[in-house]
Amino acid sequence: MYSLNTLTFDMLPSSYYKQPSVYVISDSDWTAYKQRQTLREIDELNKLIDGHQQAIDRLKETRTLLEADTKKPEELNEATK
């Protein structure tokens, strides 16, 4: 039989028993960290923009090719006369 004194809580993860990590840094270090983090985020956004711009350029190229291959309605009317 189990008693409260001998009952173990092995079902809980070991991280439950650990103390959370706390870091103490100066305001200037925190400001520098945040600035680096912001610059990294800006770099990632620029990469996304470049990738999307390349996709847009390819779509515009495809559209131009399709427009060149497709006769306009006026040209179709002239061809049938």
pLDDT at 21: 79
Q: Residues for the chain: how many in total?
A: 81
Provide the whole-model pTM. 0.53
Q: What is the reported pLDDT for 52?
A: 97
Distance between CA atoms of 2 and 39, rounded to whole angstroms? Answer: 57
58-64, long-range: CB < 8 A, 24+ apart: none
pLDDT value at residue 49 = 97
The answer to whether residues 17 and 9 touch, using CB atoms and an 8 Å cutoff, is no
Give the gyration radius of the chain's Cα atoms: 32
pLDDT surpassing 60 at residue 50: yes
User: Is residue 71 a contact partner of residue 79, using CB atoms and an 8 Å limit?
Assistant: yes
Task: Give the model's pLDDT for residue 7.
Answer: 57
